[in-house]
Chain A
Amino acid sequence: MNIHIPATILDQIQAHGEKTYPYEGAGLILGQDEGSIRRVSSLIFLENAREEGSQHNRYLITPEDMLQGEKEAARLNSSILGIFHSHPDHPNLPSEYDREFALPWYSYLITSINKGKRAGSRCWRLAEDRESFSEETIQIIHDPEG
């Protein structure tokens, strides 16, 4: 499984995690699913709807925001490929809480933010039996013109 992300978009995801630190930041990843390859084309940044006291280690995207996200994706002739979120001062590995609430098919891109600075991103997909995640290889696409 491969997910192709333009370098500028990955930078935006990681910058968002730095900006929302020490809280978790989250949003939607839009693009095209081509079977063995997913191509990311845009993002939707969203508010973390969890109560402030929990945002340091929890995020929530409301169904109302998802409904609007679906409409925006349709407008852009794209699909919601998955979700990005940050782990403040924690590794970019899915937690048990991530697993419990994950949906199949979506790509979950997790960025570790250590002391306010980006520390790498990894991408994951929930296994069919819901018991684990499989890692999705991130291919960073650099703009040949710059």
Chain B
Amino acid sequence: MPTLKIPTPLRPYANGESSMVLPGEIVEDLLQAAVEVHPMLKKHLFNEDGQLRPYVNLFLDENNINQLEGLKTPLSDGDTVLLIPSIAGG
């Protein structure tokens, strides 16, 4: 199964875990599995419309999934997906 790496700011909502091994054939499945295990993650990952929050970025190893197949990017056993925030404000 693939692994989802959790950034420090979201670990309090994942029971302190820095990584989670979850089922998922595509990235989207992996995220859904994560929020099923830790529902408190959901509001920090998704907005009220169920869309990923704009600061949520996902990397398959060191490739931004936006440059792959987005949330439909296929995953294999042993893959590591990193949840990396972009930081914005002003």
Which residues of A are at the interface with B, using a C-beta cutoff of 8 A? 24, 26, 50, 54, 57-64, 66-67, 70, 79-80, 83, 85, 87, 94-95, 97-98, 101-106, 108, 130
A70 to B13, CA, bound (A): 20
A105 to B9, CA, bound (A): 5
A85 to B89, CA, bound (A): 9
Residue interface mask B50-67, A partner, CB < 8 A = 1:
000011010100101000
Residue interface mask B62-90, A partner, CB < 8 A = 1:
10100000000000000000101111111
User: Which B residues are in CB contact (< 8 Å) with A97?
Assistant: 88-90
Tell me whether chain A's interface is mostly helix, strand or loop, or mixed.
mixed
Chain A, residue nearest B57 (CB): A63
A50 to B9, CA, bound (A): 23
Contact B9 A60 (CB under 8 A): no
> With A103-B55, A104-B10 in contact, is A59–B88 under 8 Å at CB?
yes
Chain B, residue nearest A73 (CB): B8
A11 to B13, CA, bound (A): 34
Additional A-B contact list (18), CB under 8 Å, known A101-B88, A105-B8: A50-B88, A50-B90, A59-B88, A61-B86, A61-B87, A63-B59, A66-B85, A66-B86, A67-B62, A70-B7, A85-B90, A87-B90, A98-B90, A104-B9, A104-B13, A105-B11, A105-B12, A108-B89
